[in-house]
Amino acid sequence: MSNAPPVESQKPVEIEKIVDAFDSSDEAKIVAICREAHPGDVEEAFERLDEPNREAILNFLPVELIAELGDYLPAADMEKRLQTLPEEDQAEVLDSMSDDELVDLLQEVDEEERRSDLIELLPEEKQVVSEELLQFEEETAGGRMTTAMAKIHEDETVGEVLQSLREKKEDTEILSRIYVVDGDDRLLGKVRLRDLAFSPEETRVLEVADRDLTAIEARADQEEAAQMVARYDLLALPVVDADGRLLGVITHDDAIDILEKETTEDMERIGGIGGERGDLAYLQTSVTGHVKRRFWWVLVLAFLALASGIIMFAYEDTLKAYFVLAIYLPMVIAAGGNTGGQSATMIIRAMSLGELGPQEFRRVIFKEMRIGMILGGLLGIFVALQIQFLLPDGVVDEGISVFRIAIVVGLSLLAQITTSTLFGAILPIGARAAKLDPAVV
């Protein structure tokens, strides 16, 4: 008989089915579907619930299901539910979580005392790991890494290593992250299980190791780590301290999470949405929460637009005399916003994808200037022609030169679009240069 019994995996279940079960308020049905479905699917169904509903459902899920979903549900919800449990159940849930998710949950706890209490519920080994991981800022490689990996000493033989790994084999993730270190824990390379399995037992592990030292420092930004995983197609990226000592790994699935989160932030900034999204999905966020994140920019942009209004007002006499200009004013204003948005979008995305470095900034600005001039020139010519040849009779008072109006509107569009395109590019580049987040502006 094999000592690895066949595993019946949790099946993917259509999210709609889980949501329907949630909506039914039938406790038995909900528990059953949460047990059957993959935790990833349950997580996604939870993303469609508002806070009272999430709380209600979590409150009647049995502890063993809470433990299983621990790595998947929002940390704040988990912490809330933990508070309702007796200590031994809290300990069970915490112990079942992977160390990186556990640390996310601990970071969610604001009260120092409550956090210590939670840590004390953990087995000693996990206490040490948690304390270590908590030292790193949340958004750094160290703050996102897991210590679930196998660290083996350079002098060990293939046989010795296989023997020790055999004991860990139920820990599914570890065996795809086997690293060789020296006596000081410094990273020397990585070993794949296949190289061990297919090599003579007496071989020293370093001989079959891939001396790949690709790693990231623990204090580096998590986005940099995720980009390295993407660029080098890694399963896991080792995280080291300043002396090259192996501390943990960033895994391929964490990299996807990080990239998704950073991309969401970029998009929200481009869309004029402020603040942090945090853990919560769109439907999980309350109306007040949404309003808070949007109102600030609406207000700022409204008062910026007031500037255009004041300029317009200052030219009262001109505008009243050449009232046909009023037709084209909204166009000039909108074209500025639109083209600035276009170039900002392009540059922010290119920076996030690592396509642009500081060396390229001059070229980018020069390029956007040319693009802006061409866009502005084209639209300017288009609209000038329209004014010159397609303006209905009676729109322009007698005695006013249509040709002059066409030239003025055309040139305004050229100037407005060139400037806006240029600024759309300069703002994110300037923010990056000033070491701010490029998408904040």
Our finding on whether 385 is near a copy of itself (CB under 8 A) is: no
Report the DSSP beta bridge partners of residue 187: 181
Nearer to a copy of itself, 69 or 335 (CB): 335
CB of 338 to a copy of itself, least distance (A): 5
Name which position in 26, 27, 40, 400 contacts a copy of itself (CB under 8 A).
40
Identity of the residue, 61 or 158, whose beta carbon is nearer to a copy of itself in the bound complex: 158
- From residue 126 to residue 165, the character string flagging contacts with a copy of itself as x (rule: CB under 8 A) and all else as - is ------------------------------------x--x
Q: Is 363 in the site for a copy of itself (CB under 8 A)?
A: yes
Residue with tokens 């007796």: 86
DSSP symbols for 314-336: HTHHHHHHTTTHHHHHHHHHHHH
Q: Is 376 helix (H, G, I), strand (E, B) or coil?
A: helix
**What is the full DSSP assignment across 169-201?**
TTSTTGGG-EEEE-TT-BEEEEE-HHHHHTS-T
For residues 341-359, b (16+ Cβ closer than 10 Å) or e, as one string? bbbbbbbbbbbbeeebeee
Question: Among residue numbers 274 through 303, which ones bind a copy of itself (CB under 8 A)?
Answer: 281-283, 287, 290-291, 294-295, 297-299, 301-303
Q: Which of residues 84-113 bind a copy of itself (CB under 8 A)?
A: none
How far, in Å, CA of 156 to CA of 191, rounded?
Answer: 12
Q: Does 24 bind a copy of itself (CB under 8 A)?
A: no
Looking at the DSSP bridge assignments, the partners of residue 11 are 37
Element (H, E) at 250: strand 246-251
> Could you say which residues in the range 155-214 bind a copy of itself, by CB under 8 A?
162, 165-166, 169, 172, 175-176, 189, 192-195, 197-200, 203, 206-214
* Contact flag: residue 264 with a copy of itself (CB under 8 A): yes
Closest CA to 47 of 25, 18, 67, 80: 18
Q: Alpha-carbon distance 180 to 200, whole Å? A: 18
Out of 235, 381, 431, 441, name the contact with a copy of itself by CB under 8 A: 235
Using CB under 8 A, which of 266, 414, 426, 438 touches a copy of itself?
Answer: 266
69 in contact with a copy of itself (CB under 8 A)? no
Asked if 337 interacts with a copy of itself (CB under 8 A), we say yes
Measured from the CB of residue 70, what is the shortest distance to a copy of itself in angstroms?
Answer: 14
